[in-house]
């Protein structure tokens, strides 16, 4: 009976969010409202029933239909969106002359900001004076450490050149299923080949190229319409996801590891400020970026999936920030697997500095710090934009630094909380790369970037 009551309460809140839409409340305000209401509702549920109660577990199971269902809808459209959008960039002639420069700029910004993020993570850890020996190791931490060691053994079977080869698709149909951590990059490469093939066909048989371009435009319109339909569910998805997070979090563990959580969020906040600083150096108003990026970052924060945020990421870049479609798709797609500032930059760097003293390594040793930053930069290629990406990056870095991987499992109790901030910073880094690349290539529509939101996604969502 209590479970039914909780479900009814959630549905009533969803109805309230729907009424806000009917009254013309902006998309951003509805998303932000759902975030706040979800926090309060989740805390209330935990206070009323306790984090381990059957009532709460049963209620969250039903809430996941909305929350996890929304995430799955977004993940459903990621591969078709990446594929058709990059081909459309060629058929619409938006990037054909600058594809090499654009790709190099985007990858350079992603990796460069990841190096900066690693430096920030190292500095923050040293300032907070964090060490792994300060953390108590229980059964959950031990089990998590063993899992990471097993994963490390699997990764160690491949050399770095072999891992780089994984970017190249040998069976594109397999990659369309998202079976590999590098599937998105593989699809980007395959789509680019089709785009270049289209340009060649257009020179030799223009009538065939025109027919193909019309077909691509038709599919692109349909896919973007699907994206719009899914994005309409964002406030409800964020509500359910945030309710689950706050209702099921272990606040005792968070209190014990509060210093580690605080240090992580300080580092992530600094990286986000650096993103804003880079935009300011490019002559763009960083506050405008914050205002228009809030819905995307809010979703990334609550869902903990960069891949799931891709449709909202791309639409925000193109409709609200003035980034061209080609650059937005490249930055969004590359950002899923290359240079994630939070998961591949801040997190593994902090772990390495925390763990180093346990094996007699001085984390202030310049040679140690230099190697750590270099390894973070290299290992930031191929980090998956779904759950587990940060773990993968941590394993790569710790293995390369000859540090005990199992100790990374000590933070398992606060991992979900930290991962929320990491994912938001990942997505911000991807969007920043897109905006900066557009600015450098003189393709940024500053009127859209600086304008009000009268022409943004509110019209459709």
Rg, the chain, Cα only: 22
Q: How far apart are CA 342 and CA 405, in angstroms?
A: 19
Name residue 275's beta-bridge partners: none
Q: Kindly report the CATH class assigned to 2-451.
A: mainly alpha
What pLDDT is recorded for position 169?
84
Handedness of CA 208, 82, 340, 379 (dihedral sign): negative
What pLDDT is recorded for position 187?
86
Domain residue spans of the chain: 2-451
What pLDDT is recorded for position 384?
56
What pLDDT is recorded for position 310?
84
Cα 178 off chain centre by: 16
Judge whether 270 and 35 are in contact, CB under 8 Å.
no
What single string gives the DSSP state of each residue in 115-183?
HHHHHHHHHHHHHHT--GGGS---HHHHHHHHHHHHHHHHHHTS-HHHHHHTTS-S-HHHHHTT-STTH
What pLDDT is recorded for position 456?
43
Residues 6+ apart with CB under 8 A from 203: none
What pLDDT is recorded for position 158?
63
What pLDDT is recorded for position 302?
81
**How many Cα atoms sit within 13 Å of 41 on the Cβ side?**
27
The three state secondary structure string of the chain is CHHHHHHHHHHHHHHHHHHHHHCCCCHHHHHHHHHHHHHHHHHHHHHHHCCCCHHHHHHHHHHHHHHHHHHHHHHHHHHHHHHHHHHHHHHCCCCCCCHHHHHHHHHHHHHHHHHHHHHHHHHHHHHHCCCHHHCCCCHHHHHHHHHHHHHHHHHHCCCHHHHHHCCCCCCHHHHHCCCCCCHHHHHHHHHHHHHHHHHHHHHHCHHHHHHHHHHHHHHHHHHHHHHHHHHCCHHHHHHHHHHHHHHHCCHHHHHHCHHHHHHHHHHHHHHHHHHHHHHHHCCCCHHHHHHHHHHHHHHHHHHCCCCCCHHHHHHHHHHCCCCCHHHHHHHHHHCCCECCHHHHHHHHHHHHHHHHHHHCCCCCCHHHHHHHHHHHHHHCECCCCCCCHHHHHHHHHHHHCCCCHHHHHHHHHHHHHHHHHHHHHHHHHHHHHHHHHHHHCCCCCHHHHHCCHHHCHHHCC
What pLDDT is recorded for position 431?
95
What pLDDT is recorded for position 231?
82
Question: What tokens appear for 351 in the block?
Answer: 């772990």
What pLDDT is recorded for position 135?
59
pTM of the model as a whole: 0.80
pLDDT tens for the 461 residues of the chain, in order: 789 999 999 999 999 999 998 888 888 788 888 988 998 999 999 888 887 788 898 999 999 999 889 888 888 888 888 888 888 878 876 555 577 788 889 999 999 999 999 999 999 999 988 876 655 555 555 565 556 656 556 555 666 677 677 778 888 888 888 777 677 778 888 988 998 899 889 888 989 989 999 999 999 889 888 888 888 888 998 899 889 888 887 777 677 677 888 999 999 999 999 999 999 999 999 999 999 998 889 888 887 788 778 888 988 999 999 998 888 888 888 887 787 898 888 988 998 888 888 888 888 888 999 999 988 888 777 665 555 567 667 777 887 788 877 666 666 667 778 888 999 999 999 999 999 999 998 889 999 999 875 444 444 55
Cα 386 off chain centre by: 7
């Amino acid at each position: 009976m209590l479970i039914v009551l909780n479900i009814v309460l959630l549905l009533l809140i969803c109805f309230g969010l729907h009424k806000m839409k009917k009254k013309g409340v902006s998309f951003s305000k509805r998303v932000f409202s759902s975030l706040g209401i979800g926090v309060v509702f989740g805390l209330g549920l935990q206070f009323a029933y306790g984090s381990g109660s059957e009532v709460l577990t049963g209620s969250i199971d039903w809430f996941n239909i909305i929350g996890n269902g929304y995430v799955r809808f977004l993940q459903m459209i990621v591969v078709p969106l990446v594929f058709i959008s990059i081909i459309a960039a060629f058929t619409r002639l938006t990037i054909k002359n600058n594809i090499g420069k654009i790709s190099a700029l985007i990858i350079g910004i992603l990796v460069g900001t990841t190096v900066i993020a690693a430096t920030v993570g190292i500095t923050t850890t040293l300032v907070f004076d964090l060490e792994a020996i300060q953390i108590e190791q229980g059964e959950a931490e031990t089990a998590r450490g063993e899992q990471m060691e097993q994963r490390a053994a699997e990764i160690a079977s491949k050399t770095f050149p072999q891992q780089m080869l994984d970017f190249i698709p040998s069976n594109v149909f397999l990659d369309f299923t998202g079976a590999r951590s590098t599937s998105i990059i593989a699809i980007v490469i395959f789509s680019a080949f089709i785009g270049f093939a289209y340009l060649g066909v257009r020179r030799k048989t223009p009538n065939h190229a025109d027919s193909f371009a019309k077909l691509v435009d038709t599919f692109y319109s349909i896919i973007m319409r699907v994206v719009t339909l899914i994005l309409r569910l964002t406030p409800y998805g964020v509500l359910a996801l945030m309710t689950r997070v706050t209702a099921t979090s272990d606040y005792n563990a968070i209190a014990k590891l509060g210093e580690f959580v605080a240090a992580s969020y300080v580092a992530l906040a600094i990286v986000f400020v650096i993103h804003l600083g880079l935009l300011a150096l490019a002559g763009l108003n960083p506050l405008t970026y914050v205002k228009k990026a809030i819905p995307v970052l809010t979703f990334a924060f609550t869902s903990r999936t960069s891949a799931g945020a891709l449709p909202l990421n791309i639409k925000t870049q193109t409709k609200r920030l003035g980034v061209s479609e080609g650059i937005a798709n490249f930055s969004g797609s590359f950002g899923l697997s290359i240079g994630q500032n939070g998961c591949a930059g801040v997190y593994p760097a902090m772990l390495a500095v925390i763990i180093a003293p346990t094996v007699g390594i001085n984390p202030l040793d310049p040679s140690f710090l230099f190697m750590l930053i270099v390894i973070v930069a290299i290992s930031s290629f191929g980090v998956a934009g779904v759950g587990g990406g940060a773990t993968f990056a941590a394993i790569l870095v710790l293995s390369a630094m000859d540090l005990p991987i199992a100790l990374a499992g000590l933070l398992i109790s606060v991992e979900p909380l930290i991962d929320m901030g990491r994912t938001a910073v990942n997505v911000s880094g991807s969007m920043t790369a897109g905006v900066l690349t557009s600015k450098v290539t003189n393709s940024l529509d500053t009127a859209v970037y600086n304008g009000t939101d009268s022409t943004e996604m509110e019209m459709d969502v």
